[in-house]
Structure 1
Amino acid sequence: MFRLVQGQAPHTLHTLGTAAAVHWFKNICLILADNQIECTLWAKFGVQSPWQKAIADYGQTGLLRQIYWCRTGENPGLGESLKLDQSIGITPLLLEVNTHWQGENFFCFLSSQINLLILLGESPENPKVVNILQSFSPRVIGYFLNELKQSLVVADDLSVDLFTPEELNPSADLDLVNQLVQGMGPQLKNSSTAVPQSNSSAIANSFVVNLIRELGIPLTNIKTALQLLESLQQKKEARQRYLDLIKQNCDRQMSLITGLQELLTIEATTAPLESVQIADCTLSTIGIYQPIALEKSIILNSVVAENCPPVACTGADLRTILQRLLENALKFTNPGGRVQIKAYHQGPQVEIVVSDNGCGIAMADIPHLFDCFFQGQNALPETQGAGLGLTIVQSLVQRWGGKITVRSRPGQGSNFHVFLPVMVDHSLGHRFIVPS
């Protein structure tokens, strides 16, 4: 069946290790439960399979109206094994002995908000790897259910309605689709965290894994939106939402490409040293973002100490640092909040503080803020960027012998402290003083 459905576009394919695939499937069920999705489920899985715990947890929410449990042989009662609520209807179904179903599991969630098909196939090359086919397309899901119903063993106690084609909702909740599509992200991300940082090859592999994930998410979102646009029954409003999703993810993809190019440029090039006035850069940057702040009813201002000396870097780099930090602060500050830039002279260096009283940062996220592609716990789908902004900031700061630190608490805002060396007289025999 996996190969048959694979020939029916559109769909999305993934490959994960068994443990990561199980964790991913649990995430999918949690997302459905969190969104209060009441559904009917067509499924094939073993009683002792790792997938059953996620289904059992979903069933205990009371959101599963009916389960059509398909099997190819005799098995113990599913209801007792899963400890489901007695209000949930469970219909055991027997499939004809057919090679289509060997070594495969499937889960087909049907609801008024969304339809989702997940096919799980064993990899012939590696038994510890699971091939995952995922589709939201009514046409693909309809094809799958039609093939499935033709494979059912007819029994006297089965309703004739079971063998009739399903009437699938041609549209889908766009926000929910986006959440389910991005449910793949954490597994690839978490699988890379165990890479030993002392091994440069492993670090490079970790970067590539994360890059593949970040390139894949927007493309998967775009592909899913195109799947849903396929249906001619879509209303004008729904079609516009899908077009907006495509545009949003194209923008994210472009942001990712631009960010990677910027990082490579920082690493590969050198820039002539300049004596940069903090006040000038701060005022020009504030001017750019003041309209955005006003639109969100956020107070945006700056305070630069009168004795603040010029710093040793380039004007372009300092403006980029301030712009990236301001974008971040404005993104996570609610209307009526405050964002501020302050600058002080601290001996051989200047301290620049970009502060806000926004949502703050989880303590567990702070050590990873400057990692490539990192998305914090507070990042909502509409606020997620490419995950490269703070990485670029740190690279620019370190380029000039500086450093950057963060202080934050959830609900109490964030303070980003940038330390840059003071520009000194060339007659001293060196260009600038590097902070300790």
Structure 2
Amino acid sequence: MIDPAAFVRWFRGALPYIHAHRGRTFVIHFGGEAVADEPRFASLVHDIALLHGLGIRLVLVPGIRPQIEARLQQRGIACRYHRGQRITDAAALECVKEAAGQVRVEIEARLSLGVADSPMAGMRLPVVSGNFITAKPLGVIDGIDFQYTGEVRRVDAPGIQALLAQERLVLIPPLGYSPTGEVFNLRAEAVATAVATALRADKFLILMEQPCRLDDEPVAQLTSSEARTHLHRKRFPAPVASHVEAAVTAVEGGVERAHLLDRHLDGALLLELFTRDGAGTLISRQPFESLRPARLDDIPGILELIAPLEREGVLVKRSREKLETDLADYCVIERDGLVIGCAALHAFPEVKMGELACLALHPDYRGENRGQRLLEHIEDRARRQGLERLFVLTTRTLHWFRERGFQPATFADLPVQRQRCYNAQRNSKVLIKCL
């Protein structure tokens, strides 16, 4: 039985994402392996239908490689590759067209399901496919003629956007058409990347056969430049590297964010899109989590962050007016729009001292050295201002500061101006660190 309290907490936590995603354009790519995998594919289709029901504009680009190879094997035709790319002769092209048709029909049938007692009961989900991709032949490489293997030449972005505006779900198979009427077999991931870039999609989601790892370690987020560096150093396993390359190319081409997800994780799309920490690897131009100077619109987040610590007596209570007055002293750690950490440096330049104040972290993010990052940021800021010593008043975190180089001091060691507003009832310990 579902835990009602947990469900309510999750639903309330998902609300900001529901609002943020409505009306946005997402391109979702998955391989032919996902289509062939029952019952996981049924669950994936239900999740796609849910996203559509929440007002998200969706473009699906499925792969068809296993379906092509099954047909080639049935006909006794050898699979031919060069540099990881299929060589498509006339016989293979027939198999490609059949596989594309089969996958398209299967997806459309799944998205049309509306029987009672199913997650899609009562839904009407119009699906549209078409000749949105203009292609050209890949040509001859290393003396090998790729024949009907092609590459994307142009994407009909206005045509796709017009259908999305009509609340249609757009399905684009990995086929391209030339102005001379030829059909070309295209890499599905290349099609998805080109479509996401042409649409300037808000999100490009790639469902993979394995999770994204760096040197066999899971990775939650990367900037596009970091990912490009890791690709250059060959730190991703081969199957993952191509997905990372596609994600980076899309982000560099104007897509806001790309997400790499393990398709075997049930509900991966929902977990990635409607929870703060997600379930896969995020690639974006800017860091998902950043440490920066506080802004006026951060004040509600700072107040919410420090309120529990004020109630416990760990921090001195601060009013909104006081925060606004001292805002230039504050820095925050922001994670996807949520303030999860803050700290302040109040300077006393006449004695070349600074106070580290209001160091706080969200209880869900008190790990991964975020407190240390805030401290180092404040120390660096103090040095740039010409301060020589940093002091802190604390009632509960004496040892944490001692472990980081702060030494016990006395009330008399504080700047005179700070002595005047010292709260003797709190009996805070004074610690000082030389910079």
TM-score, length-scaled by structure 1:
0.28
TM-score, length-scaled by structure 2:
0.28
Higher-strand-fraction structure? 2
